[in-house]
Amino acid sequence: MASTPAPLLHEQAYIDGQWTSAASGRTFPVKDPANDALIGRVPDMDAADVTRAIEAAHAAFPAWSTALAADRAAILKRWHAAVTAHGRELAEIMTRECGKPLAESIGEVRYGASFIDWSAEQARRVNGEIIPTDQRSRRLLVLRQPVGVVAAITPWNFPLSMITRKVSPALAAGCTVVLKPAELTPFTALALAQLAEEAGLPAGVLNLVTTTDAKRVGGVMSTHPLVRKVTFTGSTAVGKLLMAQAAGTVKKISLELGGNAPFLVFDDADIDAAVEGAIASKFRNSGQTCVCANRVLVQEGIAEAFIPRFTAAVERLKVAPGLEEGAQVGPMIDDKGVAKVMRLLQDAIAHGAQVATGGKAHALGGRFIEPTVLTGVTQAMACTREEIFGPVAPVQTFRTEAEGIALANDTVFGLAAYFYARDSARIWRVGEALEYGMVGINTGLISTAVAPFGGVKESGIGREGSTHALEEFTEMKYLSLAGLG
């Protein structure tokens, strides 16, 4: 097994430019989900620790928010260069923490670094407005100013890119940040903090707290009066709680929550391309992504051609620990995730679904599950309503385009959707009819730093990435300048 270079493996949190332990002295272990090997221990921080971090961010805000945009951009550019240079080390840490195949982790480093680079360039483009006046004696102006201290809470499934996608635009806009990474994957976040420090980020601008008490620490982050913005990626249930807590002080909020992504294959689709896209979308990170295909909806006229090819492609996937050569599907993150997948599998089979391939624990044991295809799936099965978050692809058929759209939209979620078709009129009709914040057409991979990422309905509020990213971390201020004539 490849080893993780020691210099980037920190076992302390990072507050006000200092590597620090929890005030209580408590720590907690972080283990490799593939084999339960201990990676290291990090501070188990509490409300007092996160309050100290918020106060440090507040103290650093005046200087950082008034720094020249070019100076903030230069630091971000150096951070991007450092992340890129240490890409292999970061990827190995990531794979050991969350179990994803090393090739995917290397790809995530590149993807995550692209947000830092993009945000550095956008730092110079936080523009205001001059409004044509309604009176000769005054002038009307609009400024965009950084909102203040940002509380960022990130998930375990993309432990690098979910951080850079939030933190880099916040920093570029002139905000300071308190970051709480997932307790399962803190080491990737700590490595990023070290590289940011080496890039010249001033003390207090980025603070990182690690904890097992996410509810209490998150409660402080979402209610503290010095925090002016909360940005969160995670479950819809937790997002709703944070939203309610943030309402007490009327904070700005961005939420990227759960999904139930449909993957529609229409009868005019390129079948081989659709199979390739479905594999990429469904089984990336062992199906543990918020935008992965949760339901594969296939038009009846093409089902007999698509399902066998899709099943054969799934059977060819290599299940292995993430650091093993050629690994394509790694372990589930924890036992809770395994239990959920097995519950949904058993429910589907009990309601009449057939297992085309997989359907049980993998021979490797532990948290490995066989990549699975279910056929004969109906709306009565829980897997069509709940986010599976595992390597199970339920396949459901539909008769008409209208029925396919109705099935796709029959959910409270609206993060991502995908469909394959070649008829140009259908592409426009379906693309506009799907009730989702993002739609992939003839592709299973949609994320990029240059496009807005986010959902509708119960999948969230706000957008990350694109030219709109920095807007989420600014306030609009109107200036009315009178006495000019």
Neighbouring residues of 247: CB distance < 8 A, sequence distance ≥ 6: none
Flag whether 118 is in a domain.
yes
Residue 199 sits in the same domain as residue 284: no
Instruction: Report d(CA 413, CA 386) in Å as an integer.
Output: 10
pLDDT score of 7: 76
Whether 251 and 301 map to the same domain: the answer is no
Q: Report if residue 352 sits inside a domain.
A: yes
* Each residue's pLDDT tens digit, 94-109: 999 999 999 999 999 9
Decide if pLDDT at 366 tops 60.
Answer: yes
**Is the pLDDT assigned to residue 278 strictly greater than 80?**
yes
Q: How many domains does the chain have?
A: 2
pLDDT tens-digit map of 190-211: 999 999 999 999 999 999 999 9
Identify whether residues 241 and 370 lie together within a single domain.
no
Residue 349 lies in a domain: yes
Residues 385 and 315 reside in one and the same domain: yes
Residue 351 has pLDDT above 70, yes or no: yes
**Rounded CA separation 194/404 (Å):** 48
Cβ neighbors of 401 (< 8 A, separation 6 or more) are 266, 299, 426, 429, 430
- Written as one letter, the residue type at 290 is C
CB of 170 closer than 8 Å to CB of 177: yes
In a domain, 1, yes or no: no
> Is residue 485 one of the residues assigned to a domain?
no
pLDDT class of 5 with cuts at 50, 70, 90: very low
Mean pLDDT of 250-270: 97
Q: What is the mean pLDDT of residues 222-240?
A: 97
Whether residues 170 and 201 share a domain: the answer is yes
Does the pLDDT at position 4 exceed 70? no
CATH value at residue 34: 3.40.605.10
Tokens of 110: 């590149």
Cα–Cα distance measured from residue 22 to residue 24, given in angstroms and rounded to the nearest whole number = 5
Give dist(CA 262, CA 239) in Å, integer. 22
Catalytic residue among 98, 175, 290, 292: 290
> Domain for residue 163, yes or no?
yes
State what percent of residues in the chain have pLDDT above 90: 98
pLDDT tens sequence across 332-343: 999 999 999 999
Render pLDDT for 116-149 as a digit per residue (tens, 0 to 9). Answer: 999 999 999 999 999 999 999 999 999 999 999 9
437/470 same-domain check = no
Pair (475, 435) in one structural domain: no
Tell me which of 256, 387, 458, 464 is the catalytic residue. Answer: 256
Average pLDDT score over residue span 168-194: 98
Same domain, 238 and 297: no
What range defines the domain where residue 361 resides? 261-448
- Euclidean distance between the first and final Cα of the chain, in Å? 75
Tens of pLDDT, residues 82-92: 999 999 999 99
Q: Is residue 353 part of a domain?
A: yes
Same-domain status, 304 and 197:
no
Q: Let me know whether 141 and 233 are in one domain.
A: yes
Q: State whether 435 and 465 are in the same domain.
A: no
For this structure, is 256 an active site residue?
yes
Q: Is residue 453 part of a domain?
A: no
Instruction: Determine whether 370 is an active site residue.
Output: no
Please write the tens of the pLDDT for every residue from 294-344: 999 999 999 999 999 999 999 999 999 999 999 999 999 999 999 999 999
Residue with tokens 């492609």: 313
Mean of the per-residue pLDDT values of the chain: 96
pLDDT of residue 485: 75
For CA atoms 111, 414, 329, 264, the dihedral sign is negative
| 200 and 161 assigned to the same domain | yes
Residue 382 is part of a domain; what is its CATH number? 3.40.309.10
pLDDT by residue (tens digit) across 12-70? Answer: 999 999 999 999 999 999 999 999 999 999 999 999 999 999 999 999 999 999 999 99
Q: Tell me, what's the pLDDT at 6?
A: 47
